[in-house]
């Protein structure tokens, strides 16, 4: 199995669109894992229908056994997160506010506070219009440990991936724990650089993170043509950092309308030079992925 993580460091840079287009180009044997669990949109981009769903438990939570509680309120006094609230003559813990610090446990003489599984989201496997499975998740409002949810999601993707297949991971924005979980073990990180100053800054941060994790990188410049000076800076940065630039996807309103029709950029037929640049970028990315897959295969065959 080969894992390709598509990351940008920032939201709205076009990584989901690039991930969906690559999945379409790779076709059968490919699987998409949408790891942007705080704002998943892979299911929309790939026109999906849920086939399997299951709860995600972040770890132990706490609840008050009403029958054992005598309403002294000491647990509420010690809770720094305001998670204990009066409930009639007794008290109750609000799961969304509880940080699971365990401080209240020691204060309860009645031993009325007990551990329970805290559901923090849901995990889905869906069928897409491309015929490619999609693994995705939703973090419950106020749910924490999104890095752990990303790890679970990737592990489910690994279980479902075909032998010798490719998993395309749509990474979340930022450089925190969920991104690290989405890049861990990736054979190649496709860095989607949005041609804007914030896009470039965030791409640098994610590139540094990927480098620190010893991941191979290839870049694609998105929304090219909007900010020539920033694009020059992006090209210069990539060259200096030794990150190959696979191609440049032009800014074109037609790309948005392609997605609104439920298609990916791989099916876009842009006219003129824009179309040629898009096609060249997708082909080069596909070539980079094929090269990584081949390298892995050769590695496997070596005694």
Name the residues that contact ligand SF4, by CB under 6 A: 62, 64, 69-75, 78-79, 81, 83-84, 91, 93, 98-104, 107-108, 110, 112-113
- Residue tagged 């925190």 (tokens): 176
Closest contact distance (angstroms) between CB of 67 and ligand SF4 is: 11
Minimum CB distance to ligand SF4 smaller for 77 or for 291: 77
Cβ atoms 124, 99 nearer than 8 A: no
Closest contact distance (angstroms) between CB of 222 and ligand SF4 is: 42
Cβ atoms 63, 34 nearer than 8 A: no
Closest contact distance (angstroms) between CB of 117 and ligand SF4 is: 14
Minimum CB distance to ligand SF4 smaller for 103 or for 276: 103
Minimum CB distance to ligand SF4 smaller for 104 or for 270: 104
Grouping H, G, I as helix, E, B as strand and the rest as coil, residue 239 is helix
Minimum CB distance to ligand SF4 smaller for 118 or for 277: 118
Which are the contacts of 106, defined by CB distance < 8 A and separation ≥ 6?
none
Residue 246 has phi, psi (to 5 degrees) of -70, -30
Minimum CB distance to ligand SF4 smaller for 60 or for 262: 60
Grouping H, G, I as helix, E, B as strand and the rest as coil, residue 108 is coil
Closest contact distance (angstroms) between CB of 31 and ligand SF4 is: 37
Rounded distance between C-alpha atoms, residue 88 and residue 214, angstroms: 56
Cβ atoms 5, 209 nearer than 8 A: no
Closest contact distance (angstroms) between CB of 99 and ligand SF4 is: 4
């Amino acid at each position: 199995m080969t894992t390709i993580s598509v990351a940008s460091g920032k939201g709205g840079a076009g990584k989901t669109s690039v991930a969906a287009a690559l999945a379409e180009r790779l076709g059968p044997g490919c699987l998409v894992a949408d790891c942007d669990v705080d704002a998943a949109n892979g299911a929309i981009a790939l026109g999906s229908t849920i086939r399997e769903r299951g709860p995600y438990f972040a770890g132990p939570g706490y609840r008050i056994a009403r029958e054992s509680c005598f309403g002294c309120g000491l647990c509420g006094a010690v809770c720094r997160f305001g998670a204990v609230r009066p409930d009639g003559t007794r008290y109750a813990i609000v799961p969304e506010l509880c940080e699971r610090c365990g401080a209240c446990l020691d204060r309860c003489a009645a031993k009325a506070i007990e551990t329970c599984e805290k559901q923090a989201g849901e995990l889905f496997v869906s069928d897409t219009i491309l015929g490619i499975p999609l693994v995705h998740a939703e973090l419950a409002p106020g749910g924490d440990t999104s890095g752990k949810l990303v790890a679970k999601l990737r592990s489910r993707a690994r279980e479902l991936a075909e032998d010798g297949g490719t998993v395309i991971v749509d990474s979340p924005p930022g450089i925190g724990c969920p991104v690290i979980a989405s890049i861990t073990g990736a054979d190649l990180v496709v860095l989607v650089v949005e041609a804007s100053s914030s896009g470039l800054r965030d791409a640098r941060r994610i590139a540094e993170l990927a480098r620190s994790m010893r991941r191979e990188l290839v870049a694609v410049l998105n929304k090219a043509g909007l900010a020539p000076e920033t694009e020059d800076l992006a090209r210069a940065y990539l060259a200096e950092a030794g990150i190959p630039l696979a191609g440049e996807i032009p800014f074109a309103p037609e790309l948005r309308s392609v997605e609104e029709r439920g298609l990916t950029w791989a099916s876009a037929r842009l006219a003129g030079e824009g179309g040629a640049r898009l096609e060249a970028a997708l082909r080069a990315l596909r070539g980079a992925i094929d090269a990584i897959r081949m390298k892995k295969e050769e590695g496997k065959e070596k005694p």
